[in-house]
Chains A and B, each alone.
Chain A
Amino acid sequence: MSFAEIATLEVSLFLGVLAAIIGYRLLTGQINMNYLLYGIQKGGARYFSPERVQLLLFTLGTAMFYLNDVMQHRTSGVLPDVSTETLALLGGSHALYLSGKAYMMLFKKPG
């Protein structure tokens, strides 16, 4: 085996095993996922957070579309770019999440 083949194998194994461990522990609850879609408002009460739901959907959607893009162009030697529209959508999603979090945590009173 050549140096490049061994290095490729080494990185593949490391990333693959690490991803598998993290994925397995996320699914089995060994990595804490409690209240992922809940926020804390001023006063300490938890609330179900729609802004987190939309961020989760945009995150997973963007990640999957990008991986699909990479798989289709993997032999090109060029990392595919992310479109401006996608970045704008993702930026908007994050802005909504942060605005909601700031409002609920700093200003919104319970009741």
Chain B
Amino acid sequence: MLLLLLMQAAQTTPTPPPTSYVQPWVGALAAWVALGFLGLIGVAILYYVFTGKINLSGLISEPTGDASMSRFQLLVFTFVIAASLFLIIASSTPSPQFPKDIPSGILMLLGISASSYLVSKGIQQTSPEGRAGRGPEVKIAAEKNLTTFGGDTIQFGAEVFGIEDKTVLWTILDPPGFGTIDADGLYTPPASGQPDTIVIKAASKEKLNVSDTESIRVEQAG
């Protein structure tokens, strides 16, 4: 945009008033320096984008990893309006001219697009699923953290975010075989033994590396 303004200024720069202390060549030099500087920035940006140092892979992605429709439409309208504005300026006859005014319809179009994006993000932040920006995740919870040998069972639950299959696999991680846990996450302590802290693990069946653990304590009865 600054370049477009510079281009416009170069076309319409009036003769400095007699009282000006700035020589005309200073203004021209400043414009050329600005043009060169902005050109270098443009080249650097394109170079970094091309080489992947500016990573565009998540340009329209949500924190969950899914592509976002609200980001996509904002990208489309931003590009279309920017390209249109440039095309109008560059194609103006007899010389490039910045439009005298921007139609209110364009401003409303951009307003709708950007507002929709903001409201969409607001809805997302209101929901736990929308805030699950840590990628695929399993969250485990126990109904209580203490039981006794031969005592009450403990029901574990697991929530799965960002993965289609919500099934989890339950295992007793440490110490292995210290009691049993079934496919529904119901832990049954052993009948006897030494008091210990048990680590239970729930792993996504679809992505076994996505898991969470929870510790409980098994004490002697009485």
Assuming the A-B contacts A74-B87, A80-B103, are A44 and B162 also in contact, with contact meaning beta carbons closer than 8 angstroms in the complex?
A: yes
Contact flags B74-111 to A (C-beta < 8 A → 1, else 0): 01110110111111101111011101101111101100
Complex: A86 Cα to B82 Cα, angstroms: 19
Which A residue sits closest to B82, measured CB to CB?
A: A15
Total interface residues on B, CB under 8 Å, equals 79
For residue B191, CB closer than 8 A to chain A, the reply is no
Contact check, B91 vs A32: say whether CB atoms are below 8 A apart.
no
Residues of A within 8 A of B127 (CB): 40, 42, 105-106
Residues of A within 8 A of B88 (CB): 70, 73-74, 76-79
Contact check, B80 vs A3: say whether CB atoms are below 8 A apart.
no
Residues of B within 8 A of A52 (CB): 69
Contact check, B90 vs A55: say whether CB atoms are below 8 A apart.
no
Contact check, A66 vs B11: say whether CB atoms are below 8 A apart.
no
Residues of A within 8 A of B159 (CB): 44
- The main secondary structure of chain B at its interface with chain A is helix
Contact check, B56 vs A25: say whether CB atoms are below 8 A apart.
yes
Which B residue sits closest to A58, measured CB to CB?
A: B73
For the A-B complex with A35-B67, A44-B159 known, give 19 more contacts whose Cβ atoms are closer than 8 Å: A2-B10, A3-B28, A4-B10, A10-B38, A18-B49, A21-B46, A22-B75, A35-B66, A38-B66, A60-B76, A67-B84, A74-B87, A79-B84, A87-B105, A87-B112, A97-B69, A97-B70, A98-B123, A106-B127
Give A contacts to B, CB under 8 Å: 2-4, 6-8, 10-15, 17-19, 21-22, 25, 30-38, 40-46, 49, 52, 55-56, 59-60, 62-63, 66-67, 70-71, 73-84, 86-87, 90-91, 94, 97-98, 101-102, 105-106
Give B contacts to A, CB under 8 Å: 3-4, 6-7, 10-11, 28, 31-32, 35, 38-39, 42, 45-46, 49-50, 56-61, 64-70, 72-73, 75-77, 79-80, 82-88, 90-93, 95-97, 99-100, 102-106, 108-109, 112-113, 115-116, 119-120, 123-124, 126-127, 129-130, 132, 159-162, 164, 166
- CB<8 Å pairs between A and B, sample of 29: A2-B10, A3-B28, A4-B10, A4-B95, A4-B96, A7-B3, A8-B7, A10-B3, A10-B35, A12-B90, A18-B46, A22-B59, A31-B60, A38-B66, A40-B130, A42-B129, A44-B160, A44-B161, A49-B69, A66-B80, A77-B92, A79-B99, A79-B102, A81-B105, A87-B105, A90-B112, A97-B120, A105-B126, A105-B130
